[in-house]
Structure 1
Amino acid sequence: MTLALADVGALLELAPVQRAGLALWLAAVGLPVIGVIIVGLDIMPVRFAMMHVALFGIAVGMLTGLDPMLCALAACALAGAGVAPLAATPGGLSGAMGLLMSLSIAAALLLLSVSGVNASGAFALLWGSILSVGTPDLIVLGILAAVVPGLFWWRRRDIGLLLYDRELAHCSGVPVRALTAALLVLVAIAVAGAIKLTGALLVDALTLLPALAARRLGSSLKSITLWAVGIGVVVNLTGFLLALWLDWPPGPVLVLTAGSLVLAVHCLPERRIGSWRAPASASLPSSH
């Protein structure tokens, strides 16, 4: 079933739809940069672990009567800071993420079971509820849209060196531990902040997929990041409008839109895959 353009226009006049559109636009400014960081640091397991941690935070919020999403953000931020020391070696971080996923989901299920709290509300966030976005969610996404690009621009040289080579960054005077911890906390908060938009299971549409497409198009860290943000804006707004027109759930449509764009980009003739994780013999990528 598809709606007439006039019907879509009428939907766009509704406050929940406008809040959802604004949330997706804010997410497109900050979250693709998080995707660039995830790919650059090679910390793919982190986003899966934080989905489980967010579910635990939601369970705590439902039990205590506090805002579930704020509890999820707090839980993810603490978890991100807690695992930061393990990021010194990729193997140590991967193992910690596996343990964190198992413990978080077990604790969430146990908490929901023994407390008698209706688990359907918590698990509903696994699938997203974009039209229920409220002012607190917009505030969180607005902060991320300001802080993530701001931190990236402020410390772009240090971040570029860190993503290129950790040892080289350390030898160049970059505060590797502190910067890695800050980036992990941002990744954790971003994953939690995006859950209501697409659901925990589909959060890659807002973070990772734009970054994957941007790596094919950019030739430096700066250009890759700009491409990721631009792709995020196009995917989010196009996917949302398409979902309204088709009367389909926005989360899956956003993922399919982003995935289609990634596939299309990778079908283009290869110029140069922008990579700041090149071999050591290659020249350092520009951050300008």
Structure 2
Amino acid sequence: MNLAAADLGELLQLVPVQRAGAALLLAAVGLPVVGVVIVGLDIMPVRFAMMHVALLGIAVGLLTGLDPMLCALVACALAGAGVAPLARTPDGLSGAMGLLMSLAIAAALLVLSISGVNASGAFALLWGSILSVGSADLWLLGVLAAAVPALFWWRRRDLALLLYDRELALSAGVRVDRLTLLLLVLVAVAVAGAIKLTGALLVDALTLLPALAARRLGASLTSITAWAVGIGLTVNATGFLVALRLDLPPGPVLVLTAGAVVLAVHLIPERRISSWRSTAASVSLPSWH
């Protein structure tokens, strides 16, 4: 059922709605940049692996009585650090992610079976619960919104080399193993932090899709990052308002909005994109390599 403009205004006065909107705006600053890492390192399976690891963390939280989302974040961070040594080649990391997915979901089901708790609370992460965002979630997203762009600006040369070519980064003196470890932990925590907003199945709307559109438009790591954040802010704000206006679940609306942007960007003629890149080069933005 559609809401009138006045009703939408009243809805935006509700604290849970305001928290959800704030969470999406904070997520739009940090998570699309994480998507740039996912695309650059070619580690698409990481989202699915971390979804399963988060499920295991939530199951452990339900068993022990600890905060399930905190357990999910810790589990994802440890998993990201654990697979980092296998990231020397994309194939090695992809295989590790497949193994991680299988082991994590098996362990989660075993923990849920042993504990005897209601599994619906654990599997709710598949669909998200954006209106249940709390202060802890906002703090986490706020830290990511500050830390991720800051890291990209501080280590932009090393990151550009690593995302362009690992061997080139090694020959240039970049501490590739340490940087890769940091990035994988950051990706894992970011994916876990976004699960409550859209659900694990739709987390791509906040991470991967803005980055895919940005890679098409940007000419350098700096410009790609800026495009990713700009697209993320636009998609999250627009999708959330449309979902409220039409009384629809935000997760699918955000995915469809982001997907429409990606498709629109890829329909732009290559000649026009090349002219934009020439303009970007004229203002001396750092390149990927």
TM-score in terms of structure 1 length: 0.94
Distance in 1 (CA, whole Å) between partners of 2:266 and 2:89 is 30
Equivalent residue for 2:96?
A: 96
Equivalent residue for 2:74?
A: 74
Question: Would you say 1:37 and 2:37 are equivalent positions?
Answer: yes
Q: What letter matches 1:107 in structure 2?
A: A
Q: What letter matches 1:192 in structure 2?
A: A
Equivalent residue for 2:246?
A: 246
Question: Would you say 1:286 and 2:281 are equivalent positions?
Answer: no
Distance in 2 (CA, whole Å) between partners of 1:105 and 1:287 is 37
2:144–2:190 Cα contact (<8 Å) kept: yes
Unaligned runs of 5+ in 2: 275-284
Question: Equivalent residues in 2 for 1:162-241 (5 A)?
Answer: 162-241=162-241
Distance in 2 (CA, whole Å) between partners of 1:3 and 1:264 is 28
Instruction: Name the SS for the 1:240 alignment partner.
Output: helix
Equivalent residue for 2:280?
A: none
2:25–2:236 Cα contact (<8 Å) kept: yes
Instruction: Name the SS for the 1:243 alignment partner.
Output: helix
Distance in 1 (CA, whole Å) between partners of 2:109 and 2:173 is 44
- Count residues with an aligned counterpart: 279
Q: Tell me the alpha carbon deviations over residues 139-187 of structure 1, each in whole angstroms, 9 at most, x when there is no partner.
A: 1101111111111110000000000110110111100000000000000
- Higher mean alpha-carbon deviation, 243-252 vs 263-272, is at 263-272
User: 1:94: Cα distance to partner?
Assistant: 1.0
Question: Equivalent residues in 2 for 1:43-82 (5 A)?
Answer: 43-82=43-82
2:161–2:288 Cα contact (<8 Å) kept: no
Q: What letter matches 1:31 in structure 2?
A: L
Unaligned runs of 5+ in 1: 274-283
Runs of 4+ in structure 1 off by over 6 angstroms are: none
User: 1:114: Cα distance to partner?
Assistant: 1.6
User: 1:219: Cα distance to partner?
Assistant: 1.0
User: 1:67: Cα distance to partner?
Assistant: 0.9
Distance in 2 (CA, whole Å) between partners of 1:38 and 1:191 is 11
Q: What letter matches 1:80 in structure 2?
A: G
2:25–2:233 Cα contact (<8 Å) kept: yes
2:222–2:286 Cα contact (<8 Å) kept: no
Distance in 2 (CA, whole Å) between partners of 1:88 and 1:175 is 12
Equivalent residue for 1:122?
A: 122
User: 1:285: Cα distance to partner?
Assistant: 6.4
Instruction: Name the SS for the 2:128 alignment partner.
Output: coil
Task: Give RMSD over aligned pairs.
Answer: 1.5
TM-score in terms of structure 2 length: 0.94
Q: What letter matches 1:229 in structure 2?
A: V
Distance in 2 (CA, whole Å) between partners of 1:150 and 1:117 is 41
Question: Would you say 1:17 and 2:17 are equivalent positions?
Answer: yes
